[in-house]
Chain A
Amino acid sequence: MKHDKSISRLGAEALRGMYRRMLEIRTLEDKVRYLFLEGKMPGTIHQYVGMEACAVGVCSALKETDVIASTHRPNGHALAKGLSLESILAELYGKSSGCCKGKGGAMHLADADKGMLPAVAVVAANMPITAGVALAFKLRGEKRTAVSFFGDGASNNGAFHEALNLAAVLELPVVFVCENNHYAASTSIRRTVRIENIADRAGAYGLPGIIADGMDVLDVYEKAAAAIERARSGGGASLLELKTFRYCGHSRRDPNNYMDRAEVEEWKSRDAIPAFEKLLIEAEVLDRNGAQAIAAEVDQHVDRAIVQAQEDPEPKAQDTFSDLYVTMEVPR
């Protein structure tokens, strides 16, 4: 059976947890989209629909003490690293109960206790930061791993080059995870690179470059686990490319008219969630009723979290002044 080793290694409870996480991401994103389009949610949105297997596959291979860095599209990573729906939704609404007290917003979700750095909304900029996280682990001799999530667009930015090279020469415990969803905003990867695989760039830095099917959560898990274990055991950095796709627009009201409809349909036909559900049913980890029950629970949970976020109190305008410096006091 496909993935039988991972299935027995992870066990039924963890597998059902992964399935639930993927559904949480999909359900959250579907509901957030309508809240935003109806004008009920402030700010902007960058959604993760279609890419659920990437965040869940990678984060399932991490320990709670490991640290991830995310992007302007952080909802999937945040849920996969263990942030609560409540703290995420409250942040999207700009409430003081949000994970960043309403100071971060949709592109900067963070939770220090869960090991999620403030998501970085400048493309590729989280990569050298993640190298620095790994440097701290290495200097202290801690067996922890840092993971940077970024997109195919980031691989054309200078920070990608500096971070991969620095991580290679300093032998840092970091995994650079390129979620290749084939579009940088509206621009197809066919217009921006002349190679087939972003992973091929790893060779230029003397790093291993690995490719996983980003629509297969256990393939992502297996390849991420190997790269994470390599980092943890002193083997250094790697570049892991996940071939994936976002079914939605880049942001806000983007109707993604620049995508070929046949291309979208072809990726949707390989949707990671029903595929994983089918696998879990075949493996007798889940049955159809169990799957439906999880979906119903997730749906209700997201709805409750939305209502709570809407009802949570607004921050005070004066809160603008807090959290910038630890102190500006001058000792006299």
Chain B
Amino acid sequence: MSIAVDTTKEAENTPDKAQPWNELGLKQEEYDRIKEILDRRPTSAELAMYSVMWSEHCSYKSSKIYLRQFGEKVTPEMTKNLMVGMGENAGVVDIGEGWAVTFKVESHNHPSYIEPFQGAATGVGGIVRDILTMGARPIAVMDQLRFGAVDHPDTARVVNGVVSGISFYGNCLGLPNIGGETVFDKVYQGNPLVNALSVGALRHEDLKLAKASNPGDLVILFGARTGADGIGGVSVLASETFDSEGPSRRPAVQVGDPFAEKVLIECALELYAAQVVAGIQDLGGAGLSCATSELASNGNAGMRVQLKNVLLRDESLTPEEILMSESQERMMAIVPQKDLQAFTDIVTKHEVEFSVMGEVISEPRLYILWGDEEIVNVPPRTVAHDGPVYERPVAYPSWIDALNANSAATLPRANSAEELKKQISAIVSSPNQASKSWITDQYDHYVGGNTALAMPDDSGMVRVSEESGLGVAIATDANGKYCQLDPYQGTQLALAESYRNVAASGASPMAVTNCLNFGSPENPEVMWQFKQSTAGLADGCLELGIPVTGGNVSFYNQTGDVAIYPTPVVGVLGVIDDVARRIPSGWQDEGNNIYLLGITRDELDGSAWAETIHDHLGGKPPLVSLKNEKALAELMLGANLQGLIASAHDLSEGGLAQAIIESSLRFGVGARIWLNEIMERDNVDLTAALFSESTGRMLISVGREDDVKFVGLCEARNIPVLRIGVTDSTKELIIQDVASYTMDELTRTHEGTIPELFG
């Protein structure tokens, strides 16, 4: 049986044949450009390749001009530990002792609204493969989730599907889930955000890149068979905004098999150890189109590939479909001819299927054959790297001045202790501030035996070297509300918070990744938000001296005209010499002094207090001083090296009240706290003292014997320090003149919300 294929010869002979470039998501100019590049019309297969590879998701056409800043606003000092920067599958950082880590965060938003379980599962699968492709063993995952309003009937469907999907895939891969965040806001109702992060460890010499450079090397596809998964998923789905009735179509969503991926991981690592792989790429969005063109383009070489050699799950697939398929758990290796037998022996041992697709050639051209017919003949660079670059119109939002003028400062405040206690309880039990353990208990955080910190501590920390204890810590953060108020500052606030979280755990911040979730780039106001946000992040990284190593952009997160809040997730990675020195987020010993570092201002705009008590969003987000964050982080490092810190928790959403309660609940140890000194020194009232979200603050507990040294250290570095309490074992938390809670009451308040909603 033969399918009539559209060949390059046919394309030459029928230049005026009508092609569905519009339905495939291309613009007239883009179609014309393709014809210019090829000097003829494209074949159907070439059209499919360009349409997918030039889609927003794959080509970053709307964001490229702004992402450049991450590579431009850097200093040699900043990038001295960077082994691989942006543009590769994931960034790689030297952490010392001959070890390197690779990490990245990515989105899988739209598929997770259509099919939450598989969308989230394959999101995890995809990011883990990116890490594996760098030559690393994946060692941990994290996830950053945003769902709609808790009381909306559709939210439970998405929450349950996504959490089960992440649990299913991550646990089955044997990767500990070491942290993340979950946020509920009606603005994400039709556009839930599912971002997944993975980190891997490798020895320097094991680094692999996705390039094919040696003519004669073999191109081998291995892993799962190719089927109809997600055909057209990338360009069609990611660039499609949902209409208000919900998902308008149910295309072939990708279905993940974590067992296949686990086997693939072990197989790939053994291939790497045997040094039989010269280059490697994973197949994600745009499948074979992407893998072949990127490998060739990165290596400044070309390829000749026989598409009929692809092992198929479904024999009815056309060549175009095979090229666009997003079947999971597949990788493409470049293998020198001399290593083919060794390669074969290893994949056979693991019972992984493979097929030799073709070979690398020196001419920078990608030839794809279907039997005897040539169906693709393109310059790979034009597919993979020289895609369109847009400079979309940018417009200052018409609504933002009014929003900024509407501060939360004048909203009514509690004027009795009773009312304050009610407000504390309301905030600490609100869906966004409540304990997420109902979710995180569905994730394995033990597997591997190297997890030093996980939820609910401030960062996820994993030991990399069992000999020395060398480890890495990762924290991720985003605050869509702050970014709605001011995208530049809001993004710097996210960076500051992740940075502070890493420092709170005892690690030294070293590198940054990001996942930028925004509305439609065709909306000039969204584009303005994106421009501001990327500038904020680039400027912030420059000031903190830590580079962006890679990341992801997800546009089109909007339903009709309503975009999500700009939600740039910023991840910071830090290094610690010995994970034994990590700092717990809550106090465990009684009789320790509790200190608050940093200044408290009256900053309630965009706060959990404004949202929970008044359903209010307006004003300007808290001030951010990256200089202060840096000083604070350096203090943490210095104090921790001397063993002075018993526990540390950073202050963020929910302010001091939230931080105190979380620190107390961590090990179920009570405390007595007084606020009068903060109020006096910083000139704030009780509401601000409890709920302000001022930055650059840390809640520390210190053993009695270390008090003098600790305070001395803070004063020497000009870090404002105030003793605000003592820990005690009475199983009671007392905030003097405000509220007292038994540990049971506190537990019920903080931990009851999420299970009640979704359990």
Same complex for A and B? Answer no
Binding site for A on B (CB under 8 A): none
